[in-house]
Structure 1
């Protein structure tokens, strides 16, 4: 018997290409990234509402330009009345260590609102070299 020299990366084997294609295409229906949000907001292409779902105090200290603040616990139909039902909401929080984006996305989905998560949040935004505002 020989020693298995496969890495933990290669175990289990990668999915078949057609399965990988379906998975990654589907993933983009749920997520966007900081670069795409930055590009859209700076090139007059913002066809979504960017929502910082952290608390008001953190938002007031600094946030991503063009974002509004709706803390995830305060997302409800009354708060969204000013937006047409087909408005796409892109939610973000502090970063990958924070699950407020998922909590916000769940609330928006339960209200039958289109939603995507901006992966990376504030941490990702800063990692890309983008500025915050206050």
Structure 2
């Protein structure tokens, strides 16, 4: 009798490759984002899509605050069409980042979700900053 892990057969390697490559096209993690913000040229815009109050209480360094409901064409005009946005909200229990990603994609922007959100950032031991940028 197979274990609960092996009870449903694993996908063929080609299918697994497509699945995991696709996930990396749609999301990034806290370690890669932290490294990029601190060690590399920043080639993306980090958007905190939570409320201004939550942003001021603590956000990821270099993030700008734009609540997901306020992502509209008029507010995005200042960004080049080829801008890559990385969006985050509170964490896995919040869908604000998904809502922001939908809005950005509908406006024609490239977007990735920061998996884990701010809670994932804190879980990794990375610092937050307070106040408004």
TM-score by length of 2: 0.94
**Could you report, residue by residue, the CA deviation over 1:7-64 in whole angstroms, capped at 9, with x for unpaired residues?**
3322311101111011101111000000011001001421000000001110011100
**Aligned-partner Cα distance in 1 for 2:18–2:102:** 23
Which residue, out of 93, 100, 105, partners 1:97?
93
**Aligned-partner Cα distance in 2 for 1:10–1:97:** 29
Structure 1 unaligned regions, length at least 5: none
**Aligned-partner Cα distance in 1 for 2:3–2:52:** 45
Counterparts in 2 of 1:112-123, with a 5 A limit? 112-123=108-119
**Could you report, residue by residue, the CA deviation over 1:58-96 in whole angstroms, capped at 9, with x for unpaired residues?**
001110000000000000111111110100000001111
Structure 2 unaligned regions, length at least 5: none
Partner of 2:5: 9
Q: Does 1:130 align with 2:118?
A: no
Q: Which has the larger radius of gyration?
A: 1
Q: Alignment partner of 2:55: what SS? A: helix
**Aligned-partner Cα distance in 2 for 1:7–1:100:** 37
**Aligned-partner Cα distance in 2 for 1:67–1:55:** 13
TM-score by length of 1: 0.93
Partner of 1:70: 66
Aligned pair count? 130
> What's the C-alpha RMSD, in Å, of the aligned pairs?
0.9
